[in-house]
């Protein structure tokens, strides 16, 4: 469920969103229409997880969340979903709002902390401060939300290595069971990209980000977190089920402007324009989207890319069963160079990134891709 609204734009963000809430009601009605129109997309499969992402889903009231949930329950088989997650900004999570969420089916919160340092939050133009981040986490825990995740960003100019270690220890001390950690990246056409080009902002140092990624791996192990995916870490029993299903190739339905869907054979993505999305559904009763049919080889390359990012690794026997032994042989052969560099290791018939290899995950995956036939 893509909620494409934010109070303000973060300098690094290139996601689709609007800072105007003027037409929020109409857009949410359009999302309910889309839910009805797409009811057969997943072929009646039982819904295991629901995720409110954004944008900033915590801009929704409890009543608005419940109206969307009612549409999901009406049109889809939802019995006992493992996770119903709401992404939330710390400045939205006061006690009154959290109490209202207890009257919705939301059972997991993903809080966009990004940093515990005010200097970093100012650099990124976040709407909250460090005190609000602490307050939001503790208030959610006090309200009974034990299934929590937070996002953190490293590689921020001015973020010292010791500051980053302190942040990781704070995660442990706050008893947060899951967190995601991302290197700050400069995407084209973002405010950060423009500011750096015009020398109005400090540039991102990739070597600093690499060192802090190594600190992340070391500190996570010390603190008892399983680094189960390049950007995701969890205490035992707290892996993110929704995201893990993405990485394992399960079909999913995306609702809202710019939302992506995958049915096992093709990908489709909705128009990234709030007014046109709303008009298309409420006035024209149709959905505007683009679609691509994945080839056999593209499916395999996606498996290589996603599986290598996880601690489960790339299973050669799985490739043989689902593609062919010729393909598994090609993948195994292409892995030898990285094995010699100690970027990969073999666990039986499974290829897994080493800690050093995790620094080069995207490069390794791309060089192991099977050429399109």
**Three-class secondary structure of residue 57 per DSSP:** helix
Average pLDDT over residues 60-79: 97
H/E stretch holding 344:
strand 344-347
What does the block give as tokens for 121? 């939050």
Distance CA 98, CA 280 (A): 34
Residues 6+ apart with CB under 8 A from 2: 16, 53, 54, 55, 254, 255, 256, 257, 258, 259
CA angle 287, 290, 295 (to 5 degrees): 135
Cα–Cα distances (Å) from 227 to 122, 178, 179, 221, 265, in that order, read 29, 10, 10, 8, 30
Q: What is the percent of the chain where pLDDT is above 90? A: 85
- 130, 117 Cβ separation under 8 angstroms: yes
What does the pLDDT look like over 213-224, one tens digit per residue? 999 999 999 999
What does the pLDDT look like over 185-194, one tens digit per residue? 888 888 888 8
Q: What is the percent of the chain where pLDDT is above 70? A: 100
Cα–Cα distances (Å) from 235 to 141, 224, 226, in that order, read 16, 6, 6
Q: Spell 75-89 as b/e; 16+ CB within 10 A means b.
A: ebebeebebbbbbbb
Domains of the chain: 2-247 (3.20.20.70), 296-368 (1.10.10)
What does the pLDDT look like over 110-165, one tens digit per residue? 999 999 999 999 998 889 999 999 999 999 999 999 999 999 999 999 999 999 99
- 217, 227 Cβ separation under 8 angstroms: yes
Name the pairing type of β-strands 232-234 and 226-229. Answer: antiparallel
What does the pLDDT look like over 232-285, one tens digit per residue? 999 999 999 999 999 999 999 999 999 999 999 999 999 999 999 999 999 999
Kindly report whether the global pTM for this prediction surpasses the value 0.95: no
What does the block give as tokens for 213? 């990624």
Distance CA 256, CA 266 (A): 18
So what's the pLDDT on residue 7?
A: 85
**pLDDT bucket at 373, cuts 50 / 70 / 90:** low
């Amino acid at each position: 469920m893509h909620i494409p609204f934010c109070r303000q734009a973060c300098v690094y963000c290139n996601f689709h969103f609007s800072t105007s809430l003027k037409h929020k009601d109409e857009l949410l009605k359009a999302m309910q229409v889309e839910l009805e129109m797409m009811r057969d997309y997943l072929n009646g499969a039982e819904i295991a997880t629901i995720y409110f992402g954004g944008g900033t889903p915590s801009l929704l009231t409890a009543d608005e969340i419940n109206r969307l949930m009612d549409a999901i329950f009406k049109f889809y088989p939802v019995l006992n979903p493992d996770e119903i997650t709401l992404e939330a900004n710390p400045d939205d999570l006061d006690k009154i709002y959290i109490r209202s969420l207890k009257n919705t089916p939301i059972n997991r919160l993903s809080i966009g902390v990004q940093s515990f340092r005010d200097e970093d939050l100012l650099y990124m133009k976040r709407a909250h401060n460090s005190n609000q981040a602490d307050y939001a986490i503790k208030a959610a825990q006090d309200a009974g939300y034990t299934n929590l995740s937070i996002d953190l960003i490293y590689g921020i100019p001015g973020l010292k290595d010791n500051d980053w270690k302190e942040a990781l220890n704070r995660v442990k001390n706050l008893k947060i069971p899951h967190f995601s950690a991302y290197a700050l990246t400069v995407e084209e056409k973002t405010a950060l990209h423009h500011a750096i080009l015009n020398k109005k902002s400090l540039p991102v140092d990739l070597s600093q980000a690499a060192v802090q990624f190594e600190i992340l791996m070391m500190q996570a192990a010390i603190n008892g977190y399983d680094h189960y995916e390049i950007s995701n870490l969890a205490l035992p029993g707290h892996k993110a089920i929704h995201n893990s299903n993405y990485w394992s190739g399960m079909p999913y339905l995306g609702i809202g402007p710019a939302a992506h869907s995958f049915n096992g054979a093709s990908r489709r993505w909705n128009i990234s324009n709030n007014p046109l999305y709303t008009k298309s559904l409420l006035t024209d009763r149709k959905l505007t989207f683009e679609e691509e049919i994945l080839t056999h080889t593209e499916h395999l390359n996606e498996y290589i890319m996603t599986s290598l990012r996880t601690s489960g690794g790339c299973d050669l026997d799985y490739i043989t069963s689902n593609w062919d032994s010729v393909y598994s042989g090609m993948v195994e052969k292409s892995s030898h160079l990285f094995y010699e560099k100690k970027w990969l290791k073999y666990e039986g018939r499974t290829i897994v990134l080493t800690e050093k290899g995790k620094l080069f995950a995207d490069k390794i995956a791309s060089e192991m891709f099977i050429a399109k036939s």
